[in-house]
Each structure stands twice: as structure tokens, then as C-alpha cells.
A and B are shown apart, each in its own frame.
Chain A
Amino acid sequence: MKAACYYGKEDVRVERVPDPQILNPRDAIVKITASAICGSDLHIYDGYIPTMEKGDVLGHEFMGEVVEVGSGNHQLKVGDRVVVPFTIACGNCYFCKQQLWSLCDNSNPNAWIAEKLYGYSASGLFGYSHMYGGYPGGQAEYARVPFADIGPLKVPDSLSDEQVLFLSDIFPTGYMAAENCQIKPGDTIAVWGCGPVGQFAIRSAYLLGAERVIAIDRFPERLDLAAAKGKAETLNYSEVDVPAALRDLTGGQGPDGCIDAVGLEAHGTTLDPWYDRAKTSMYLATDRPHALRQAISACRKGGIVSIPGVYGGWLDKFPLGAAFAKGLTLKMGQTHMHKYMPQLLQRIERGEIDPSYIITHRIGLDEVPDMYRTFRAKDDGCIKVVIKPGTQTAVTH
């Protein structure tokens, strides 16, 4: 089959690789009808994710049709149309039973690597390095799905691929980010980063009862989308002093919840992003946490900072003093996908949200390497790329 493979920093190639096969009883093989490039794939593209190997199949947001099931899988049958969660979970361990699905004990074959780095290993992930299991990803024609009797969500034919595809990661991720803010009626939520996760965090904050949502970015098209579809008030950080503006907008109190939907490669206009850039370029630091610093500093006393953005290593100049002084709560981690997918599918079915509004680009597999470049540069108004492996060339732009 054809697949988009990692070959090094800024080197993605579409290659012929062996078709996936059933390896375990609970497996299924899915013929992928729609897939996507995630902002977190850009961390791989930029060389920030350790334990990637040449030839690894990329991608963790995908859906498709079941074409084969393992002998122990009694939930799926050939022909089922499913969305696949990007986290892999067994369903039976302590963490799965606590609904902490992305922390599954039993789904990472390389748990020992993550244990060396983090003490304990989280769940396996599709297409996201060998530290997370080395599972081939979904920017491909087919994918093998482990524990497929518990993960994939069957979707009704009344909904299109584009309406349900983002249940695979970014909609639940934005939703959990908002839910982590424990929103009460009247709350103001600030969201750093108006990429896809930020967009869904904005919508989810309103769905969960926020009174106001303030969105922060520097790209006009992303801010426009946040305003038009998310009904957010927007701040362009290249034009305004964000902490001062947030103070002003909240009567000197600060937002009740702050969401960092940026992660480890933050940009900014103050001095600290340049300091981070210098240190990471010399391998003296692993992450550039400018957005997180600002979120901690801007958050109101006793507020919650929720972090859906990905971090990988040891943070420098992390303002724990400010977090302590203000009695903040920090909530973070990979999304507990299996918990959120069914309820969010219901919201889509009820018409509360149509997640396809963030799509800007639709491509075939062959264009994936070019599109990584476009997406990273945020050229051509690129916000979200959907890959349709069945098509040979671009559908529309």
C-alpha cells in the first residue's frame, strides 16, 4: 500500500510499504477513507519527537471501513464504518477502568522507553514514535487497529466523513481541554492558539456554558475563524499586549480558565521565545513554552490552566512560583478519547456542531509531503488538511 513515511527532520515521503496484517486477536484492519495532518505531526516534522525511525508511517487522525477483523474481536464486522481514536487502550487495566484511557497500561509495546524518560508509560499512539509503541499511522491506505473491539466508534451513514473524522483526535482534545477548565456559568475562558484544537476548545467552552471566550493567535485567518464560527473575542498577539488586554477585558481579574492549545513550539513577541529558541537550537532545552508561561501569568487567582498542547521534555523558566502564588490548578495530558467520542458523536448528530468547518485543504496521499510544508508555514490560509487516500490528486483547495 501507499503511506506517508517519516525519513528525518522535514523529510516526509510517500512510499510503498507492506499492507498491514492482523497480529493479535482483538485487531482489525481499516481501509482508510479519510485521514488528517495534525498540528502535533508538525512536532515530528520539526524533529522534536524522539525515537522516530526512518520509514515510520505517520498520522493518527483517521477513519475508514473495516476490511478484516481478528478472531477475538466480536464487536466489529467487515463493512463497519468507524472513526479510530488516536490513543490505543486495552479497556481492562486500572487506568482504562478509571476512564483515563490515554494512560492505558497495556497498549505500549515499548513502555520501557517511556518509563526511562517519564517514570511510567502512557498508552500507545498511532504514528507517534517508538516511545509510544511504534504503531504505523493512518496517513496511508490501510491501518491495523489494535484493541479494535474497544476503540473504533461506529458512525452512522447520515454523517459524512468530514463531519466525523475529527472525533479521532482534535474535537475530543479541544473538548477535554475545555472540560478540564471546570467551567461554571459566567466564566471567561482564554484560549492560546487558534489552530484546530484551539477552535474546538473555543466551541466546546461555549457548549459547556462559558459566558465569554477570548482567542489569542497572530494569523488573521485563524482569528477570523475563531470569531466567525467560534463567536470568540480575538486578540492578535503581534498587535496587542496580551496580558494587559486580558486584564482589561476581565476587569482586572484575569480569565477563570486558560487553555494552552499551542504546545512546545510556541512563538511570541516578547524576549523569552527567542531565549527558548536559542536554547533549543543548542539542545540545551527541549521545549519552547512561551504560551504556557503567558497563560499561567494571565490566569486569575485560583483558576485552572488546561494544557492540550503537547510538551515532551524539561521546561526552562517555568513560572511555578506564579502558579503557586495564585493557587492555580494545572490539568494536562493526552485526551481520554474513548470517554469523549460517543458523547461528541451525539452532539454532532444533534446538530450542535459540524466539525468540518475548520477544513481548508483536501488532498490525496501523494500531496502529503508538500502539504506538511504548507501546513507548517501556515501558507495559503492552511488550518486543517484532510487526506483522502482514495483520490489521486487534489480535490479542492
Chain B
Amino acid sequence: MRSTARLHIDPATAHDTGNVERVVAVTTAAAAIAYGVSRRSVKGICLAAAATPLAYRGIRGTWPRLKDVLPSHGDTRTALGGSRGIHVRESIRLEMPLEEVYRFWRRLENLPRFLTHLDSVTDLGNGRSHWVAKGPGGLKGEWDAEIINEVENKVIGWRSLPGSEVVTAGSVAFSRVRNRQSTQLSVHLQYAPPGGRATAFLATLMGREPSQTIREDLRRLKQLLEAGEVPRAEPVPA
């Protein structure tokens, strides 16, 4: 499996802070956030939250501006084009006929069975669908999406409709590999999370790395399709 979670510091926005200051800012903020989170108390969370703008400054070189922090309402092309937004790429192989894997994925209602951040996907017809995602702290994100590219047994591409509160796009390509006996899926997910890339980077610091999440999601898909069930050693907590 190959993964690329692209996150680089944009030199164009790094002008108003020196490197030393940025390192100090990131380190201090990371320590405060780690300490705050580890306290598992309201005070601790407040401390972690208070340190977040400092971390942002350390990473981006500027204090956060409101337009970076608020959800972007833009078109997916402007929000996700080039190196903007979070890009996650992962691939996985399955010992299943390609057509079966394609059919499973094309039935978008199936996606929450292995994409853990999703609560539900409802097919609205005409290539449109309604997505509900689980956000942090029980918050839900909802958006409508449309399929923008579909070649049967080859590729499915989708994006959120303009004006959505979550700006996201994704594609999955299907290919026959290993002497055409196996099926390989290559998934590319993009999103502009609320708070921009800095928030995603902080999530990474705290151990929720997007590519790891997607890797586990694709593993779950493989288990569901190949083994017919997701292995577990313990009862699911009620």
C-alpha cells in the first residue's frame, strides 16, 4: 500500500516569522496540547485549545485568519486543486473478481461499512448522493455529492456539490493485477477540513493520521469482501 498525505509549509505565507520562532512556537504548542489532552479534563482541553493558534503560527508562519479557520464554501476545484487541501492516496489488493469489487463500491450506501468516518451515504438518484460524516465530539458533517466520472469496472470519481459545508472529492480506480487474478483498488481522497491544513496537521500530531485511517478503512473493505466479516477479538463496546 502506498500513501501520500501531502502537508508542506508554504514558503509564501511564512514571511512574518523566523524559523527559530516557528520551531519554538510549534514545540511549545505541541507540549501544551499534549499536556492538555493528557489531562482529560475541561481545563486541559481548554489549555490545548488555547495553544492551537500558536501551533498554527508555528506551522504556517502567520496567526490564523478567520477565512482559513472557517469551513470553505468554495468549489472543489479551487479548494482542492494543486496542493491545496488534504490528499490521501492508498491502494489495496483483493482476491475478488474486479466486477464484484466495483459493484460493491458503486453502491455508495456500502461505503460507511468500511469508511469509518462516514455515518451514512444515501443515493439520491441521477449520480447525486447525500453524505453524513461523524465529526469530532459527536458533531456531524453533511453534504451532497455528485459522481463526476464513471467508467464501469475502471474508475469512479465524485465531489461535493458547490456550496457544501464540507469540501471533498474522491476517486477510486480498479485494475486487474497479478496475471489478472487479483484486483487492485487505488483510492484518492481529498478534502478541505474545517480549519484548513493546520488542523489536519494537529490531528496528525495527536495520532489521527489521515492515511493511516484510510489504510485501516481499506483493510476493512478487504476483510468484508474476502473473508465475509471483519475480524475482532473483543465484543464491540455497546
Tell me if B219 and A111 are in contact (CB < 8 A).
yes
Chain B residues whose CB sits within 8 angstroms of the CB of A107 once the complex forms: 227, 231
B204 at the A interface (CB under 8 A): no
Which residue in chain B gives the minimum CB-CB distance to A149? Answer: B228
A99 at the B interface (CB under 8 A): no
Within 8 A of A (CB), among B150-183: 178, 182
B139 at the A interface (CB under 8 A): no
Q: Which of A26, A112, A124 contacts B212 (CB 8 A)?
A: A112
Size band of the B side of the interface? 20 to 34
Interface string of B18-52 (1 = CB under 8 A from A): 00000000000000000000000000000000000
A198 at the B interface (CB under 8 A): no
Q: Which of B95, B216, B222, B234 contacts A134 (CB 8 A)?
A: B234
Tell me if B231 and A94 are in contact (CB < 8 A).
no
Interface string of A102-145 (1 = CB under 8 A from B): 00011111111000000000001000000001111000000000
B233 at the A interface (CB under 8 A): yes
Expressed in whole angstroms, the Cα–Cα distance for A88 and B229 within the complex equals 14
Interface locus among A17-25, A203-211, A276-284: A17-25
Expressed in whole angstroms, the Cα–Cα distance for A26 and B228 within the complex equals 9
Within 8 A of B (CB), among A361-386: none
A21, A25, A136, A146 interface centre (most CB from chain B within 10 Å):
A146
Given the known inter-chain contacts A72-B229, A93-B95, A136-B233, please indicate yes or no for A112 contacting B216, CB distance below 8 A.
yes
Chain B residues whose CB sits within 8 angstroms of the CB of A23 once the complex forms: 232, 234-236
Chain A residues whose CB sits within 8 angstroms of the CB of B232 once the complex forms: 23-24, 109
Tell me if A133 and B228 are in contact (CB < 8 A).
no
Tell me if B227 and A106 are in contact (CB < 8 A).
yes
Q: Which of B227, B233, B235 contacts A93 (CB 8 A)?
A: B227
Instruction: Please count the residue pairs between chain A and chain B whose beta carbons lie under 8 angstroms apart in the complex.
Output: 65
Q: Which of B95, B223, B231 contacts A133 (CB 8 A)?
A: B231
Interface string of A282-294 (1 = CB under 8 A from B): 0000000000000
B226 at the A interface (CB under 8 A): yes
A59 CB to nearest B CB, Å: 14
Expressed in whole angstroms, the Cα–Cα distance for A211 and B93 within the complex equals 44
Tell me if B229 and A92 are in contact (CB < 8 A).
no
A165 at the B interface (CB under 8 A): no
Which residue in chain A gives the minimum CB-CB distance to B225? Answer: A92
B178 CB to nearest A CB, Å: 8
Which residue in chain A gives the minimum CB-CB distance to B236? Answer: A23
Expressed in whole angstroms, the Cα–Cα distance for A146 and B227 within the complex equals 11
Within 8 A of A (CB), among B120-134: none
Tell me if A72 and B95 are in contact (CB < 8 A).
no
Expressed in whole angstroms, the Cα–Cα distance for A152 and B234 within the complex equals 20
Chain B residues whose CB sits within 8 angstroms of the CB of A88 once the complex forms: 231
29 examples of A-B residue contacts, CB within 8 angstroms: A23-B232, A24-B230, A25-B228, A72-B229, A90-B231, A92-B95, A92-B227, A93-B222, A93-B226, A94-B95, A94-B178, A105-B222, A106-B231, A107-B231, A108-B231, A109-B230, A109-B232, A109-B233, A110-B233, A111-B219, A112-B216, A124-B231, A133-B231, A133-B233, A134-B233, A134-B234, A136-B233, A146-B231, A147-B231
Residues of A near any B CB (own CB < 8 A): 21, 23-26, 72, 88, 90-94, 97, 105-112, 124, 133-136, 146-147
What are the 7 tightest A-B residue pairs by CB atom distance, in nearest-first order?
A90-B227, A106-B227, A134-B233, A24-B229, A92-B226, A135-B233, A106-B223
Apart from A24-B230, A133-B233, what are 10 other A-B pairs with CB-CB below 8 Å? A21-B235, A23-B232, A26-B227, A90-B223, A92-B228, A93-B95, A93-B227, A106-B231, A107-B231, A108-B231
